[in-house]
Amino acid sequence: MRADRLVSLVLLLRQRGRMTADTLAAELEVSTRTVLRDIEALSSAGVPVYAERGRYGGFELLPGFRTELTGLNHDEALALLAAGPGRGDQVFGLGPALASAVRKVVDALPAGHGTTASDAARRFLVDPETDLLSRRPATEDVPATTMTEVRRAVLTGHRLRIHYEATGRAPQWRTIDPIGLVTVREKGYLLATREGADRTYRLSRIRAAETLPEPAQRPDSVDLDRIWRERSDQFFASSDHLTVLLRLAPSRREELLDTALAVRAETPDTATDGWLRLEAPFQDTRHAEWALWQLGLDAEALSPVSLRTSLRRRAAALAARYVAPT
């Protein structure tokens, strides 16, 4: 909305000082022409913004234009700044809104506190693009217009029409009653009902969405944590998958989480000092064999026997290929 953009423009000028129209346009994700129109609108409304001509020119605010936010201590401001911009795009497409909110928090802090908190927040890095092994996290691309419609339907309590592509099927239009949004390990899900039946949709598989005028058929209050646990249990009880019992070195647990559908029934393994005994479902034998092969000697499949057999054959074939020449 334009009003939010105007506020963000003012806050950028307050926090950074003189800025060119091109730099403002890049920050606000609009055209330079739009920035110039916004500057004119602010001036007409009495906001003290002026243009400085020349090679190092740009737009600037007169000193003293600010508001103050009371009741927010240093650690609270620091928490917002550290957790904010790096995760905005991952949380249901709210990146631009989160960046704008952080700018407002910084600007509204008492004099001197904003600079201190901003400097401290630069010492924290939350969820970088790669881990120590240079692995990039899996990301899901959901068009901004689609995510906006899904959020609108969830928050306003209206029915939603989605063009959804289920695994192995052509996309189809479906009318659903949205309940809530869940993000798990960088994957987003829409919890809903369809004709009274529970449904869970991957956000990355929604190709288009349209909020409908009629209200959704759903309860006024919701416990998303409880609903998610129930649906997870239903999924593993009804899905056609392979459940593997295995022993695992604790240092490789996160890698297993990256490949298995889930990790369940986790206990210390009494037969192996310091290791874990886990129950993990996989899509099929091929999926489980590939995942455990990546873990090498830090994992051992205990069951099913068919998986142990396939892993043994694979290891024997590899050993035969690299046998020392006589």
Number of helices (H) and strands (E), helices first, in the chain? 11, 11
pTM beyond 0.75: no
Question: Strand pairing partners for 246?
Answer: 278, 301
- Residues contacting residue 185 through CB under 8 Å, at least 6 positions apart: 257
pLDDT in tens, the chain (326 residues): 677 788 788 888 887 888 898 999 988 888 999 989 888 888 877 788 888 877 777 888 877 665 444 555 666 666 666 666 555 455 677 767 766 776 666 666 665 555 665 666 566 665 666 665 555 555 667 888 898 899 899 989 999 999 998 877 889 999 999 999 888 766 788 999 999 888 989 898 899 999 999 999 998 888 888 888 888 777 766 667 888 999 999 988 888 888 888 787 788 888 777 899 999 888 888 899 999 999 999 999 999 999 999 999 999 999 999 987 77
Residue 60, token pair as written in the block: 């600037």
Report how far Cα 36 is from the mean position of its chain's Cα atoms.
Answer: 33
